[in-house]
Amino acid sequence: MGNRSSTRPPSRSEIMAVGHVVPEPSRCVQCGICSFNCPISIDVRRHAWLGQHVEASECLTCGECVRRCPRGVLRFELTELFMEQGK
Amino acid sequence: MRRYVIVGLGVAGVAAISELRARDKSAEIIMVGDEKHGFYSRPGLAYHLTGELPEKQLMIFSKKDWQSLNIRFANAHVTSLDPHRHQLVLGAEDRLTYDRLLLSTGSTAAPINVLGSNLPQVVKLDNLEDTRRILALTRRVKTAVVVGGGILSLELVEGLHSNGVSVHYFLRGGRYWPNILDEIESHMVEHNLEKMGIHLHFHTEIAEIMGQRGSVNAVRTTTGEILPCGMVCVGVGVRSRMELAKEASLAVDKGILVNDHLLTSNADIFAAGDVAQVVDPVSGKSYIDTLWIPAREKGVTAAINMDGGNQKYNRTIATNVLRLAGIMTTIIGAVGSGVDEDLVSVARGSSETWLQLPNSIALESNLDVNHMRLMIGERTLLGAIVMGDQKLSIPLQELIAGETDISSIRDQLQPGAALGQILMDFWANGKGQGIKQ
């Protein structure tokens, strides 16, 4: 299990500043709605297929992929590097 | 150089070739299948039908991805298998030999056997070609009848509705998906369907599909009612595509029987995906999953063993995330039992393990989440259904799959308790003995 120090989901401003999108591959059926709705054409589905976080520097963290995913595969997580610095 | 042949272009086959290539750069890998559109997201068809996704988005791999896998591809129907000669026949007479073979031929929609079921406007939702056909029909058909149960029939109902077709949904019994959902959950789905304007017909069966000049124009029910319609959509379950295995005298039952290494009764033939019926070596019981993620996992495991590895298929708890009449729903582990009259075989996107209801207490909560049902065992959670708010679905998936000892909170899990908060705190703090950190 990952970091579960708090059950409070990160706020929008925190995500915009220091967050990224994390897929849960055990729920993903590669439908591609995430990639289709990304305004800057990041292939989010590919990240889910490979089990990788969306750490692309160009990601706007706009949340379109998270909101549109019909299977709850994607979520926001704070980037650990910044969490350490912010302590 | 060893030659691997994979029959079937679905996710199990693709997972297998990816694993084989990663393990053996020089092996000859040949993929054979008759799906004319190649590898795409089959679960994504439902979203294509509703108009949320264009067809080209269903394709998962790019040309570059295929090139990097460095495989040979044969778009052909495999007509026979000769295990003694290690040989397949493709089409009329092309022969293809193998050293190790993987059968990942998937499943196909079960038909309904009533008068008129061979009319061209009687459709199923098995593949991309079916989706194209349904979408073409929705441009001229005003009214459709859907029969069946489980997820597939709802995908048809919602897809037709999204395209402006008036939908009549026939259910043989008194409620939707009775072997998985309880009465409250069925009612939630039915209520939403009615709000969408879907016409639900309980205790209703088709006796005859009536046609005029070769086209569907009505159905007659077993009670004699005649309902005019232009198409009939069938989602009564799926059956394994195991003809090849059967003719080659491999051991089969509802699917191709495989051991926990996904090996069939022949030492050089493996099976994975929907078609593989895995026999548990301890209990002797066997099961079929028609789920995307287990199919992918089976493909990887089979590939490891085809390459000479010794990998047991570690079955994960069957989980599926669905949208039932607009309600996000996660089904995890054992939640139901009994028979669904609307299905003649296992439903697509389903698992037989959801039906193995063990000794447990069912506890429902409609307070702090939209709807949640927990199946509570002696010391662990055995299954759950979460409908609506999905905050708890991943924590529950982890607690159930990890067989986490919940003894420390079991007494708190009582009717009327704030179940959501108790479980979320338990999961977040990782208090339970045996929780993997």
pLDDT tens digits, chain A, 87 residues: what are they? 344 445 566 666 665 666 789 999 888 999 999 999 999 999 999 999 999 999 877 888 888 999 999 888 998 887 765 554 444
**Nearest CB neighbour to B390, from listed A31, A33, A72:** A72
Nearest C-alpha in B relative to A33: B53
Q: What is the per-residue pLDDT for B63?
A: 92
Angle between helices B393-401 and B419-429 (to 10 degrees): 60
Q: What is the per-residue pLDDT for B218?
A: 98
Distance between CA atoms of residues B209 and B232, nearest Å: 8
Closest approach of chain A CAs to the CA of B96, in angstroms? Answer: 31
Band of pLDDT at residue B262, cut at 50, 70 and 90: very high
Query: What DSSP string runs through B195-241?
Result: HHT-EEETT--EEEEEEETTEEEEEEETTS-EEE-SEEEEES-EEE-
- In this complex, do A28 and B328 lie within 8 Å of one another by their Cβ atoms? no
End-to-end CA distance of chain B: 43
Q: What is the per-residue pLDDT for B414?
A: 81
Distance between CA atoms of residues B411 and B363, nearest Å: 12
With beta carbons under 8 A apart, name residues in chain B contacting A33: 44, 47, 52-53, 57
**Sequence-ordered list of residues with C-beta below 8 angstroms from that of B139, at least 6 positions apart, any chain:** none
Mean pLDDT of B304-308: 97
With beta carbons under 8 A apart, name residues in chain B contacting A29: 41-44, 292-293
Question: Under a CB-based contact definition with an 8 Å cutoff, are residues B321 and B329 in contact?
Answer: yes
Higher pLDDT, B2 or A83: B2
Predicted structure pTM score: 0.87
The lowest-confidence range among B159-168, B173-182, B422-431 is B422-431
**Nearest CB neighbour to A4, from listed B54, B322, B428:** B428
Closest approach of chain A CAs to the CA of B246, in angstroms? Answer: 30
Distance between CA atoms of residues B274 and B256, nearest Å: 9
Helices (H), chain A: 12-18, 33-37, 44-50, 64-68, 80-86
Instruction: Please state, as a whole number, how many other Cβ atoms lie within 10 Å of the Cβ of residue B315.
Output: 17
Residue A71 three-state SS = coil
Q: What is the per-residue pLDDT for B64?
A: 93
Higher pLDDT, B436 or B280: B280
- In this complex, do A1 and B397 lie within 8 Å of one another by their Cβ atoms? no
Distance between CA atoms of residues A21 and A77, nearest Å: 6
Q: Determine the length of chain A.
A: 87
Mean pLDDT of B94-122: 95
With beta carbons under 8 A apart, name residues in chain B contacting A26: 293, 316, 319, 397
- In this complex, do B53 and A6 lie within 8 Å of one another by their Cβ atoms? no
- In this complex, do B427 and A31 lie within 8 Å of one another by their Cβ atoms? no
Closest approach of chain B CAs to the CA of A38, in angstroms? Answer: 12
Nearest to B213 by CA among B304, B296, B120: B120
Optimal mutation site among A34, A35, A45, A71, interface B, most CBs of chain B within 10 A: A71
Nearest C-alpha in B relative to A4: B428
With beta carbons under 8 A apart, name residues in chain A contacting B428: 4-7
With a cut of 70, say whether residue B266 has pLDDT above it: yes
Distance between CA atoms of residues A46 and A80, nearest Å: 22
Distance between CA atoms of residues B172 and B143, nearest Å: 20
Question: Under a CB-based contact definition with an 8 Å cutoff, are residues B123 and B145 in contact?
Answer: no
With beta carbons under 8 A apart, name residues in chain B contacting A5: 428
Question: Under a CB-based contact definition with an 8 Å cutoff, are residues B48 and B129 in contact?
Answer: no
Question: Under a CB-based contact definition with an 8 Å cutoff, are residues B85 and B97 in contact?
Answer: yes
Closest approach of chain B CAs to the CA of A49, in angstroms? Answer: 9
What sign does the dihedral B296-B302-B305-B310 (CA atoms) show? positive
Residue B372 three-state SS = strand
Distance between CA atoms of residues B190 and B198, nearest Å: 9
Nearest C-alpha in A relative to B323: A70
- In this complex, do B47 and A31 lie within 8 Å of one another by their Cβ atoms? yes
With beta carbons under 8 A apart, name residues in chain A contacting B60: 30, 32, 45, 49
- In this complex, do B41 and A29 lie within 8 Å of one another by their Cβ atoms? yes
Closest approach of chain A CAs to the CA of B47, in angstroms? Answer: 8
Q: What is the per-residue pLDDT for A1?
A: 39
Mean pLDDT of B237-253: 95
Distance between CA atoms of residues B180 and B349, nearest Å: 13
- Does ipTM surpass 0.95 in this model? no
Mean pLDDT of B87-99: 94
User: Under an 8 Å CB criterion, which residues of B touch A?
Assistant: 11, 41-44, 47, 52-54, 57-58, 60, 292-293, 316, 319, 321-323, 328, 330, 390, 393-394, 397-398, 424-425, 427-430, 435-437
Q: What is the per-residue pLDDT for B412?
A: 87
Residue B417 three-state SS = coil
Residue B191 is which amino acid?
H
pLDDT in tens, B171-212: 999 999 988 898 889 999 999 999 999 999 999 999 999 999
Write down the mean pLDDT value for chain B.
90
Phi, psi (5° rounding) for residue A34? -60, -50
Distance between CA atoms of residues B409 and B366, nearest Å: 19
Nearest C-alpha in A relative to B437: A1
**Nearest CB neighbour to B53, from listed A27, A31, A73:** A31
With beta carbons under 8 A apart, name residues in chain B contacting A31: 41, 43-44, 47, 53, 58
pLDDT in tens, B9-63: 999 999 999 999 999 999 999 999 998 899 999 999 999 999 999 999 999 999 9
Nearest to B349 by CA among B237, B192, B183, B234: B237
**Nearest CB neighbour to A1, from listed B316, B328, B436:** B436
Q: What is the per-residue pLDDT for A72?
A: 87
**Nearest CB neighbour to A29, from listed B43, B435, B437:** B43
Q: What is the per-residue pLDDT for A83?
A: 52
Band of pLDDT at residue B374, cut at 50, 70 and 90: confident
Query: What DSSP string runs through B144-177?
Result: EEEEE-HHHHHHHHHHHHHTT-EEEEE-SSSSSS
Band of pLDDT at residue B235, cut at 50, 70 and 90: very high
With beta carbons under 8 A apart, name residues in chain B contacting A32: 41, 44, 53, 57-58, 60
- In this complex, do B60 and A35 lie within 8 Å of one another by their Cβ atoms? no
Q: What is the per-residue pLDDT for A17?
A: 61
Band of pLDDT at residue B342, cut at 50, 70 and 90: low
Closest approach of chain A CAs to the CA of B91, in angstroms? Answer: 31
- In this complex, do B321 and A71 lie within 8 Å of one another by their Cβ atoms? yes
Distance (Å) of CA B32 to CA B76, B240, B275: 6, 18, 16
Nearest C-alpha in A relative to B421: A7
